[in-house]
């Protein structure tokens, strides 16, 4: 739902979606803020400062992409203990900058203050480039559900790190530096996506939010989710079903979108389900097919 008012500069998408959209004279700007707190959102013993910079930027830039915008800039606020080495801070900014570079965005401002707790506040800005913002509430029965980007890798990496291991490197690296399909966001907007969000809380939960916002049911076809060998191997070693990571892991920041049936979907988008009348999220193609999940987690359909 896009609310418009008579003022040229009112927000046209306010709190509650991935990011805020501002209407300007000649275009739509997208802005969103995320805070990352030491020990809660990152651990300095699990990732170095450059990786933490990458993750902090990625989490926020993914929100911009999930509106269909091209990320253009970051503002970075850093509240830091007095004893934090300058080299650590330099490396953090290096990671933030590097994450922006592939699509020409930049760190354009910020603030540094002293605080007992290390907090990184990232605000990302993006440009709709003439496209219409893609909110969460436009999925309609008959639309297809598609994913761009990886699922489960970062969650597997986090599980590995949590048990004190450092390998396999590919999943640990996925946790430390997510590979976000940023440009699939604006691509989806141009293609005419009806609803979109990034997967930051896990696919089931985020699909549930999107289903709720759209007052529709999202049916995911489990056979559309190929389990990569590396996730299968890690799962076996850790006695975890790798589908758990795929359906409930969030840190990869994949994009989840719905498209009207007449839209031809190019890569990296791959169809994983459909929108139906109803509510909640249903996972089809497993023995217990059709059981309602209510978007609340993998355990319900195990």
Among 106, 190, 215, 299, binds a second copy (CB under 8 A): 106
Taking CB under 8 A as the binding criterion, the range among 21-29, 140-148, 149-157, 160-168 that sits at the site for a second copy is 21-29
* Residue 31 sits in the site that holds a second copy (CB under 8 A): yes
70 vs 180 by CB, closer to a second copy:
70
242 vs 250 by CB, closer to a second copy:
250
37 vs 215 by CB, closer to a second copy:
37
Among 52, 57, 70, 100, binds a second copy (CB under 8 A): 70
Q: How many CA atoms lie within 13 A of 125 on its CB side?
A: 17
Q: Which two tokens stand for residue 23?
A: 């209407």
Phi first, then psi: give them for residue 24, nearest 5 degrees.
-115, 175
As measured in angstroms, the least distance from the Cβ of 15 to a second copy is: 5
27 vs 261 by CB, closer to a second copy:
27
Of 128, 24, 134, nearest in space to 69 by CA: 128
Contact 81, 115 (CB under 8 A): yes
Site string for a second copy, 108-147 (x = CB under 8 A): xxxxxxxxxx-x-x-x-x-x--x-----------------
Contact 253, 130 (CB under 8 A): no
Contact 155, 238 (CB under 8 A): no
As measured in angstroms, the least distance from the Cβ of 291 to a second copy is: 33
* DSSP H or E run through 108: strand 106-114
Q: What distance in Å separates the CA atoms of residue 236 and residue 224, rounded to the nearest whole number?
A: 21
Q: Which residues contact 180 (CB under 8 A, 6 or more apart)?
A: 58, 61, 62, 65, 149, 198, 252, 253, 254
* Residue 82 sits in the site that holds a second copy (CB under 8 A): no
Among 50, 53, 64, 72, binds a second copy (CB under 8 A): 72
Q: What distance in Å separates the CA atoms of residue 122 and residue 107, rounded to the nearest whole number?
A: 10
Among 48, 77, 278, 285, binds a second copy (CB under 8 A): 77
As measured in angstroms, the least distance from the Cβ of 252 to a second copy is: 20
Task: Report how many residues bind a second copy under the rule CB under 8 A.
Answer: 51
* Residue 58 sits in the site that holds a second copy (CB under 8 A): no
Q: Which residues contact 168 (CB under 8 A, 6 or more apart)?
A: 160, 230, 233, 234
Residues that bind a second copy (CB under 8 A): 7, 9-11, 14-15, 19-20, 22, 24-27, 29, 31-37, 40-41, 70, 72-73, 75-79, 104-117, 119, 121, 123, 125, 127, 130
């Amino acid at each position: 739902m896009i609310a418009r008012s008579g003022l040229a500069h009112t927000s046209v998408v306010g709190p509650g979606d991935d990011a805020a959209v501002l209407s300007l004279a000649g275009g739509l700007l997208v802005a969103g803020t995320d805070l990352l707190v030491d020990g809660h959102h990152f651990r300095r013993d699990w990732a170095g400062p450059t990786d933490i910079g990458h993750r902090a930027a990625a989490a926020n830039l993914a929100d911009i992409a999930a509106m269909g915008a091209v990320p253009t800039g970051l503002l970075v606020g850093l509240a830091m203990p007095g004893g934090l080495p300058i080299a650590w801070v330099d490396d953090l900014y290096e990671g933030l900058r590097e994450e922006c570079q592939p699509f020409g965005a930049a760190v354009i401002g910020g603030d540094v203050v002293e605080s007992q707790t290390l907090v990184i506040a990232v605000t990302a800005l993006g440009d709709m480039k003439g496209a219409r913002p893609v909110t969460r509430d436009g999925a309609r029965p008959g639309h297809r559900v598609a994913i761009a980007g990886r699922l489960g890798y970062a969650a597997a990496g986090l599980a590995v790190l949590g048990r004190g291991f450092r390998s396999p490197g590919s999943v640990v690296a996925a946790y430390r530096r997510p590979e976000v399909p940023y440009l699939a966001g604006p691509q989806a907007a141009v293609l005419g996506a009806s609803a979109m969000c990034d997967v930051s809380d896990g696919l089931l939960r985020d699909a549930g939010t999107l289903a709720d916002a759209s007052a529709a049911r999202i049916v995911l076809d489990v056979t559309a989710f190929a389990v990569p060998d590396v996730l299968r191997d890690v799962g076996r070693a850790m006695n975890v079903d790798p589908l758990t990571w795929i359906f409930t892991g969030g840190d990869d920041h994949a994009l989840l979108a719905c498209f009207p049936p007449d839209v031809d979907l190019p890569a990296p988008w791959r169809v994983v389900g459909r929108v139906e009348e109803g509510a909640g999220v249903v996972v089809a193609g497993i023995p217990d097919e059709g059981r309602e999940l209510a978007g609340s987690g993998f355990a319900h359909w195990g």
